[in-house]
Amino acid sequence: MGTQNPNVHPHAQARIAGNKRPNRGHRTGGLLHDNSRHTARFTVIGNHLAQHGQLSLLAIGLGTHLQSLPKGAPADIKTLTARFPEGATRIAAALRELEVHGYLRRERVRTPAGRIVTRTVSCNQPAAGRRHAGTPAPAPAAGRPTAPEPQRRERQEGQEACEGEEGARHGTRRKREPRKQLPDVPRPAFPAPELLRAATDLLADLRRHGSHLLLSAVDTAHPAPGVAAWLERDVTPAAVRHALTTDLPPEGVRRPAALLAHRLAAQLPPPPPFRAPVEDPPAHYRMRNCDGCERGFRAPESEARCRDCRTNPQEAA
């Protein structure tokens, strides 16, 4: 019982849960990982993008870079060409790959100023629509091209999920919600035309302090009475401009007219204190001699004679 059998093989080590294949990197020269936990400035990237079987390596890297950018960062071809050594042709082709596979979409939207701009949207889960529907999304296998029809159907469902259009597979579109009304603004007690004109000019000049404060003619007419109410309360135009343009959101303003109307109503200053009219002090004239009787008297420079000489011109003569 105390003798050990040297021919018995040692017991195998327990396999780590989730690792179905033994690590043979030390014998085959495969990949090893030296990982450290990130605590700041990191981005979670799905393996469906990092190990995509149909995307090129440039498209995978560009998709990873776009997902790591903050909201509002420029993502046009000119900016990406200046950032990376690849040319504009290769970067444009990689963007088209990401767009085809649902990781990117470009929308043309109209700004409040009436301009048409292109908005780039990066989607981190293009196959979210399939998972929400209850069917598991197939894991992409490196080097194995999938069938054209399932790939096209998965890409279509992923784009529909990223765009957020419920029921797009059945040909229906989500109805656009009605635009909310602008907040009420204070009104001046005496809406003089000159006061309203000065308020309109002040609102039109806000574009010089930020392109996102460019207002249309309709949006300018709504907060103009509120600005007039501020000016009526002895607030200088510089103070009104400072109250409307200070501490704006860093990501920009979606509806500048609504923000301005809210600030005009919430930060309305009180009326100025009552001040009694100040009477002019009595005039003090210097002593001078009358030209008629040589008496001294006080009078304006225009008066050469005293009061007696002016009332009795015969005696003065």
Ordered by where they begin, the domains of the chain are 42-168 (1.10.10), 193-266 (no CATH)
Residue 148 has pLDDT above 50, yes or no: no
Span of 46-50, 134-138, 192-196 with lowest mean pLDDT: 134-138
Mean pLDDT for 191-202 is 89
The percent helix, strand, coil of the chain (3-state, each to 5) is 40, 5, 55
Return the pLDDT at 165: 41
The residue with tokens 């979409």 is 105
- According to the model, what pLDDT value does residue 227 have? 92
More confident residue, 300 or 135: 300
Q: Is the predicted pLDDT of residue 138 greater than 50, yes or no? A: no
Strand partners, 47: none
CA–CA gap between residue 157 and residue 142 (Å, rounded): 22
Residues 209-256 pLDDT 10s: 777 788 888 888 899 999 999 998 889 999 999 888 888 777 777 888
Please report where in the chains the tokens 């998965």 appear, as a residue: 154
- Report CA dihedral (181, 185, 188, 193) to the nearest 10 degrees: -50
Pairing relationship of beta strands 104-110 and 296-298 according to DSSP bridges: unpaired
- Residue 207 buriedness (CB in 10 A; 0-12 / 13-18 / 19+): middle
Question: Quick one: average pLDDT of 268-282?
Answer: 78
Sorting pLDDT into bands at 50, 70 and 90, what band is 17? low
Q: Looking at the whole model, is its pTM more than 0.75?
A: no
Q: How confident is the model at residue 307 (pLDDT cuts 50, 70, 90)?
A: confident
